[in-house]
Structure 1
Amino acid sequence: MTRTPDFGEERMNEPKPSVRTEEDARIINAAVRAVKAECKGLQDLLSALGDGMGHVFADVVRLILSLQGRVILSGMGKSGHVARKIAATLASTGTPSFYVHPAEASHGDMGMITNKDAVLMISNSGETPELAPMIQYVRRRSIPLIAMTARANSALAKEADHTLLLPKSPEACSIGLAPTTSTTMQMALGDALAVTLAELKGLTKEEFHSFHPGGNLGALLQHLRDIMHTGKELPLAGPETPMREALLVMTGHRFGTLGIVDDKGRLIGIITDGDLRRAMEQNPDLLSRTTGEIMTKNPKTLPPDTLAVAALDFLNRNKITVVFVVDDADRPIGIVHVHDLLRLEGSGSA
C-alpha cells in the first residue's frame, strides 16, 4: 500500500485565537471542527488513491484519453453543482466536457450524449432517482459510464463500467447530513482528474490561453508583443549623448529608465533612476558625463513572445520594475513596466 502524506490530527496546527467572548470561542471552534473534518476526508481520499481506487482512476484516465467525443458530467443537488465545476475545469484544461442536468436529460437533453462520449455521474449515495433514466439510456447504447460515489453496492456503482469509490468519511456538519466533506472529496477528485489529463496531454500555456481569451487569466497569458509600449514611447539615446540631454529624454517618458543603443540600434546598456542616484553621489559633475560612461552594460531583456505572466515573474525575481523587449538582433522594439502587468493581473475575472 502506497504511503500518503499525513493530514491527521496530530500534525494539524489548530489556531489559538485570542478569545474576546465565549461566543467567539464557540464560533471559531465550530469552524475549526468543520475544516478538520474536511481535511480528514481529503486524507482518506489520499489513502484511497494510494490503494485500490488509484488503479480505477488510472483506467478512467486512459478511457477519457481514448475518447473521440466528450466527457458528460451529471449529478443532482450538491453533487450536481460539483459536476458542473468539474466539467468546466476539464474543458478549460483541454478535455472537451459539459454538464447535463438529469431532469433536463429526461426532456430532450439526452440527445446531447453520443456513442463517442463517456458519462461521469456523481452521487454520494449512488441511489439518486433522477439519474436512473440517464443510466438506462447510456447502458442501452453501450456508452461508457463512470461513477463517483461512496457506496459500492449502489445502483449507480453496479451499472458503471468504472467506479471511483469515495471513502466513507463523516460529513463536517454537526448533524452529519449536509453534503460537506463528501462534496469536498468529489471536487478534489475531479480536480485531480483534470490535472492528470492535462499533464498527460502536454497542455501548454498557449493552449490554456486559447481556452481563456477573456478575464485576467487570458490577459496574463498574452504575449509581450501585444501589450508593450513601442515607437516614440521608447526612451532611447546613444552612448555619446550628454547626461544633460539624456535626463530630458528620461523625464519625458514615464518609465524611469533610459535604453542606450549603438549605431546599429542594438541595446548595449541601460540607465535607471537608481543608477542616477548612485552616479550623483560618486560624480558631482554628472551632467557633463555621457550616457556610455554612466550606463549599466548588458541589461536584462525579454523577447516579444514572452507571456505576460512569465514577464511578471521575471521582474519580481530580478527585483526590477521595467524591462526592454528586444528582437533577435538585440534591438529594442518595446518596453514593459511592472504596472502594465499588474493592471492585467487585476483586470477582468477568471
Structure 2
Amino acid sequence: MNTPMHTPPLLGASQALAMARETLAIEIQSLQALAQRLDESFVQVVQAILVTPGRVVVTGMGKSGHIGCKIAATLASTGTPAFFMHPAEASHGDLGMVTSKDLVLAISNSGESNELTSLLPALKRQGVRIAGMTGGLQSSLAKYSDWVLDTSVEREACPLNLAPTASTTVQLALGDALATALLDARGFKAEDFALSHPGGSLGRRLLTRVRDVMRSGDDVPRVLVADGFDRLMREISAKNMGASAVVDAEGRVQGIFTDGDLRRRIEDGTDLRHATAGALMHKHPRTISEEALAVDAAQLMEQHGITSVLVVDAQSRLVGMVHIRDLMLAKVI
C-alpha cells in the first residue's frame, strides 16, 4: 500500500525573506566574532605553513570535508602547495600520501569526528605537524594539534541548530583568511595566479604576449615611404588587415595607412594617383613591443579607437602587426 506523500505547507514570501535574513545575520555575527578572536595562533599557523618544506594536507569529514576541499584548492591556486585527503580513505592507505615534511590542516566542528580522530595518533607518530580548525577547544582534535584555530559559533543558522551552516561559513572564511595572508607574505602577484590558471580567461589575459598573437614576416603589410598609391593598395588588399605599415629602407616605422585614411583622403579630394605612401600615411602611429601583454594591445586599440597596432623592436623596426581579430581569436578579448 502506497503511503501518501506529505505536502509541506506553502511558505509565504515574507516568511521566506525573514528566514533568509535571519540566516545571514547569524552567519555575519559568527564571522564578526571570528575576526575579533583571531590571535597569535593564526599568525603561528601562517608562519608554520610558510616554512613547511612539503605541502599542506587538508582533511575533514562530511560538511567540513567539503569546506576542506575548497580551502585546499584556494591554497594551491594562490601559491601554497596543498591537496585534500579524505579521512576515511586515509585510514585505508591514503595516509601514505602524507610525509613528515607536510603540515596537516584538520577541520572538524566538534573535533570528535571518528574518521578524523583515528588518524591523529598515526600522524603524530610520523612527526607531522597538525593545525586543528575546530569549535571543540577541549576535543581530541584540539589535544592532538600543535596549533588550534577556534571556529566555534554561538549557534548554527539552521532553525533546529543542527545543520552545519554558521560553523561551515566560519571554516570557509578562516580558510580564505589563511590563503590571503599566505599569498601576501609570499609576494604572490596576479601573474603568479595566472600561471596556475592557464585555461581560464585570467590566465589568457595575463600570460598571452603580443608575440603570441601578432602577424609576422611576409604576413605583415608594409610598403616603403617612396612607394606609390597602387603599391600601397595592393599590399593592403593582399594582407587583409585593413592597413599597411609604412617603413624606411632600414625597416623603421614611419607611419601607417588604413582603410579609414583612404576614405578621408577621397573625401578631402586628394589626388591619389601620383601620391606616395609617405605623403598619404598617418605619422606617429600607435606601436607596441612584442614582449607586451596582448591585453595591453587591446587596451591601446580601445583607447584610441583603432583596430590594429604595429609591433616594433627597440630601434622602432617593424617586427609584426596585431589586429583586433587576432585578439578575439586568442580569446584575449
Task: Give TM class, smaller chain.
Answer: 0.7 to 0.9
Alignment-derived partner of residue 7 in structure 2? none
- Which of these residues, 268, 291, 304, is aligned with residue 290 of structure 2? 304
The one-letter code sitting in structure 2 at the alignment partner of 1:229 is R
TM-score by length of 1: 0.77
> For 1:216 and 1:255, how far apart are their aligned partners in 2?
26
Aligned: 1:125 with 2:101:
no
- Which of these residues, 121, 129, 141, is aligned with residue 126 of structure 2? 141
Q: Evaluate the alpha carbon distance shift between residue 261 and residue 129 of structure 1 in structure 2; reply closer, same or farther with a 3 A threshold.
A: same
Judge conservation of contact 1:243–1:289 (CA < 8 Å) in 2: yes
> For 1:56 and 1:279, how far apart are their aligned partners in 2?
72
Q: Give the CA deviation at 1:197.
A: 2.0
- Which of these residues, 55, 59, 62, is aligned with residue 77 of structure 1? 62
Judge conservation of contact 2:213–2:330 (CA < 8 Å) in 1: no
The one-letter code sitting in structure 2 at the alignment partner of 1:264 is E
> For 2:107 and 2:84, how far apart are their aligned partners in 1?
11
The one-letter code sitting in structure 2 at the alignment partner of 1:302 is I
The root-mean-square deviation of aligned C-alpha atoms, in Å, is 3.4
| 3-state SS in 2 of match to 1:345 | coil
Q: Evaluate the alpha carbon distance shift between residue 38 and residue 57 of structure 1 in structure 2; reply closer, same or farther with a 3 A threshold.
A: farther
- Which of these residues, 339, 343, 348, is aligned with residue 325 of structure 2? 339
Q: Evaluate the alpha carbon distance shift between residue 261 and residue 108 of structure 1 in structure 2; reply closer, same or farther with a 3 A threshold.
A: same
> For 2:116 and 2:194, how far apart are their aligned partners in 1?
35
Judge conservation of contact 1:42–1:185 (CA < 8 Å) in 2: no
> For 1:250 and 1:157, how far apart are their aligned partners in 2?
73
Structure 1's unaligned 5+ residue stretches are 1-22
Q: Give the CA deviation at 1:232.
A: 1.9
Which structure has the bigger radius of gyration?
A: 2
Q: Give the CA deviation at 1:167.
A: 5.7
TM-score by length of 2: 0.80
The one-letter code sitting in structure 1 at the alignment partner of 2:317 is R
Q: Evaluate the alpha carbon distance shift between residue 273 and residue 133 of structure 1 in structure 2; reply closer, same or farther with a 3 A threshold.
A: farther
The one-letter code sitting in structure 1 at the alignment partner of 2:168 is T
Q: Give the CA deviation at 1:115.
A: 1.3
Alignment-derived partner of residue 200 in structure 1? 185
The one-letter code sitting in structure 2 at the alignment partner of 1:233 is D
Q: Give the CA deviation at 1:53.
A: 1.0
Note the alpha carbon deviations across 1:59-113, whole angstroms, 9 max, x for none: 2221111111111111122321222222222222221111111011101111211
Aligned length: 323
> For 1:281 and 1:107, how far apart are their aligned partners in 2?
81
> For 2:167 and 2:37, how far apart are their aligned partners in 1?
19
The one-letter code sitting in structure 2 at the alignment partner of 1:99 is F
- Which of these residues, 203, 209, 224, is aligned with residue 210 of structure 2? 224
The one-letter code sitting in structure 2 at the alignment partner of 1:100 is M
